[in-house]
Every structure is written in C-alpha cells, then in structure tokens.
Amino acid sequence: MSDAVDAEFFARLSELNDKFAAGLPTTLGRLAALRQAFDPAHPAEEQVGDMHAILHTLAGSAGTFGFRVLGQEARALEQRLRVFTTFDAVLPADWEAWLGELDVFVAWGLLDPKAAYPNDESAV
C-alpha cells in the first residue's frame, strides 16, 4: 500500500516539476519585459511590485521543483529590491546595477537554470 502511495506522490511531484520547468521561460519573459520597460530615473511603483512578486514566487517555489540555485538567486534579487523599496529615493545608478544583476539572472535562467550560476565561485 505505501509503495503505491509513494509512487503516486513521486509521479505527481514529477508532473509538477515538469510544469514548473515548462512555465519558467514565460515567467522569466515577464521579468525581462518588466525590466525593458523600467525607467531607473523614475521607477514605477507597479513595476517594482510586479518584479517583486515574480521574484518572491520564484524564490519560494524553485527549490521545491529542483531549481535550488534559481531560487537562491531569485531570493537575493528579491531581498535587494525590497531594500530599495524602504528608501525614500534610490539613485538611477543603483537601479542600473540591480537591473544588470536581473539581466544576468534572466539570461542564465532562460539558457540553463540548472547550470552553475555565472561567477559562482562555489561551483568551481
């Protein structure tokens, strides 16, 4: 009996893993679109909120579906973004630096989100 339950559980988990992986290009594409429309001199609160929501979702779910590094990197970007939202003003140069990190994340995630993260010295 428990073997059947375990088999069902792992089959369902495998389906969810596949669904997560299949949806990743769309999710990362949404991030890329938000990034392209982003004005570092005048960041729109709604865009910041949307970016935060996507990163938060990725950070919370990626590890469950076998994308541990993706989740960790999403969490790091999310946390930095959250810090920015606590300030009265953020310099455009600071936004540009964060957006550059987001660009690396999206490009990596679209290419191979299970590969070593760019410049990850722990993977060497």
Half-sphere exposure of 45 (CA within 13 A, CB side): 4
User: Over the stretch 44-76, which tens digit does the pLDDT of each residue have?
Assistant: 999 999 999 999 999 999 998 989 999 999 999
Tell me if 13 is assigned to some domain.
yes
**Is 70 a member of any domain?**
yes
- CATH number, residue 108: 1.20.120
C-alpha distances (whole Å) from 46 to each of 77, 85, 103 are: 17, 12, 19
Identity at 79, one-letter amino acid code: Q
pLDDT, tens only, 79-117: 999 999 999 999 999 999 999 999 999 999 999 998 899
pTM of the model: 0.88
List alpha helices for the chain, DSSP H. Answer: 2-36, 45-61, 68-86, 92-111
Is 121 part of a structural domain of the chain?
no
The domain of 66 spans 2-113
Residue 123 lies in a domain: no
Q: Is residue 85 part of a domain?
A: yes
- Whether 118 is covered by a domain: the verdict is no
Domain count, the chain: 1
